[in-house]
């Protein structure tokens, strides 16, 4: 499985019952604390493996560091933060590479394992499936507000908590509930990744705007103009692929917001979705039903 269907990771079969799941992700700092930045970057990188239904097993650090302007202690803290997430996820750090660069960037290449018949793709949703989201939206908007020194402390804490929450438990439950398709919500925003899911399946996805969870404080930050350029780019590209009417721009922008270490968007049959929602509540996993998969219509996304 390669880049043809915009899946979250590549998959390479190495035996009849085993395949490698491979991905890499690198980000720039979203928060001031280097240890926390490392945790966010690591959680973000391993998320693509979870989105495929696989178990991440090894990782390699990828670091771009301005050694002439930042002390080495910053780098040590970033790597320590990343390694703390890997330990939580049971992932073995096996190496990496560091180069000097003008701008600080950090991420990881990650390898996971899966049985080929257990792969969860983003292109195999079925009409009648229910859509579930496992994290609220808003990290891109909040990160912009952090850079602009406009984000309240409680909002920063909430966004940090979500960005450092790994998707392991949601992915395990997704497999138990026989998910028909899944993706993680990252740089293209909820609408972008839902559009890829709809296109791959030859279907239309209806999203109920009022049911989509948004982090506390995001609406106010949008009103204050704390919207990243990537959010506008996503809106400009994907909005023509949406059917909707009478929805204000301020309400729409969060669903185009580029996420870092976002949640899983999962398509399941109605009974499986009910079980997922019930079990997620029992296990302390955040989840919300936000829409459904419909037979193909004129546009891949319907917002209601």
Question: Tens digits of per-residue pLDDT, 251-280?
Answer: 899 999 999 999 999 999 999 999 999 999
Instruction: Decide: 162 and 233 in contact? Cβ < 8 Å.
Output: no
What pLDDT does residue 282 have?
A: 97
What pLDDT does residue 65 have?
A: 97
What pLDDT does residue 212 have?
A: 97
Categorize the per-residue pLDDT at 4 as very low, low, confident or very high, splitting at 50, 70 and 90.
Answer: confident
| Interval 220-255: pLDDT, tens | 999 999 999 999 999 999 999 999 877 777 789 999
Closest Cα partner for 45 from 72, 97, 85, 5?
85
What pLDDT does residue 5 have?
A: 75
What are the structural domain ranges in the chain?
A: 3-118, 130-303
Q: Which fold has domain 130-303?
A: Phosphoribosyl-aminoimidazole Synthetase; Chain A, domain 2 (3.90.650)
Q: What is the 3-state secondary structure (H, E, C) of the chain?
A: CCHHHCCCCEEEEEECCEEEEEEEEEECCCCCCHHHHHHHHHHHHHHHHHHCCCEEEEEEEEEEECCCCCCHHHHHHHHHHHHHHHHHHCCEEEEEEEEECCCCEEEEEEEEEECHHHCCCCCCCCCCCEEEECCCECHHHHHHHHHCCCCCHHHHHHHHHHHCCCCHHHHHHHHHCCCCEEEECCCCHHHHHHHHHHHHHCEEEEECHHHCCECCCHHHHHHCCCCCHHHHHHHHHHHHHEECCCCCHHHHHHHHCCCCCCCEEEEECHHHHHHHHHHHHHHCCCCEEEEEEEECCCCCEEEC
| Interval 155-194: pLDDT, tens | 999 999 999 999 999 999 999 999 999 999 999 999 999 9
What pLDDT does residue 2 have?
A: 82
Categorize the per-residue pLDDT at 78 as very low, low, confident or very high, splitting at 50, 70 and 90.
Answer: very high
Burial of 174 (0-12, 13-18, 19+ CB in 10 A): buried
What pLDDT does residue 35 have?
A: 98
At residue 238, what are phi and psi to the nearest 5 degrees? -95, -20
Q: Report d(CA 170, CA 184) in Å as an integer.
A: 11
Across all residues in the chain, what is the average pLDDT? Answer: 96
| Mean pLDDT in residue range 119-146 | 97
Instruction: Decide: 125 and 267 in contact? Cβ < 8 Å.
Output: yes
| Mean pLDDT in residue range 41-45 | 98
Instruction: Examine domains 3-118 and 130-303 and report if their fold is the same.
Output: no
What pLDDT does residue 72 have?
A: 94
Token duo for residue 266: 């999962």
What pLDDT does residue 259 have?
A: 97
What pLDDT does residue 40 have?
A: 98
| Mean pLDDT in residue range 72-98 | 97
The pairing of strands 203-207 and 301-303 is: parallel
What pLDDT does residue 158 have?
A: 96
What pLDDT does residue 251 have?
A: 84
Categorize the per-residue pLDDT at 146 as very low, low, confident or very high, splitting at 50, 70 and 90.
Answer: very high
CATH of region 3-118? 3.30.1330.10
């Amino acid at each position: 499985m390669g880049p043809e269907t915009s899946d979250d990771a590549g998959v390479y079969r190495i035996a009849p019952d085993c395949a490698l799941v491979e991905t890499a992700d690198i980000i720039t700092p979203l928060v001031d604390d280097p240890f926390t930045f490392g945790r966010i970057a690591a959680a973000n990188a391993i998320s693509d493996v979870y989105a495929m239904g696989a178990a991440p097993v090894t990782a390699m650090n990828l670091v771009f560091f301005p050694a002439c302007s930042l002390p080495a202690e910053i780098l040590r803290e970033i790597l320590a933060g990343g390694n703390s997430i890997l330990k939580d996820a049971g992932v073995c750090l096996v190496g990496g590479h560091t180069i000097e660069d003008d701008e600080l960037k950090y991420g990881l290449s990650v390898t996971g394992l899966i049985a080929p018949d257990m792969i969860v793709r983003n292109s195999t949703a079925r009409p009648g499936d229910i859509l579930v989201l496992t994290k609220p939206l808003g990290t891109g908007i909040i990160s912009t507000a952090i850079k602009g020194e406009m984000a309240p402390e409680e909002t920063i804490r909430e966004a940090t908590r979500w960005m450092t929450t790994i998707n392991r438990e949601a992915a395990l439950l997704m497999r138990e509930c026989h998910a028909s398709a899944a993706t993680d919500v990252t740089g293209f925003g909820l609408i972008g990744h839902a559009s890829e899911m709809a296109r791959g399946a030859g279907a239309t996805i209806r999203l109920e705007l009022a049911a989509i969870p948004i982090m506390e404080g995001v609406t106010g930050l949008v009103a204050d103009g704390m919207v990243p350029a990537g959010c506008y780019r996503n809106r400009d590209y994907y909005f023509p692929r949406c059917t909707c009417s009478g929805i204000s721009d301020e309400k729409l922008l969060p669903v185009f917001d580029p996420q870092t270490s976002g949640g899983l968007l999962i398509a399941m049959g109605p009974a499986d979705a009910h079980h997922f929602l019930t079990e997620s509540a029992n296990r302390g996993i955040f989840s919300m039903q936000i829409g459904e998969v419909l037979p193909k219509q004129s546009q891949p996304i319907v917002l209601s």
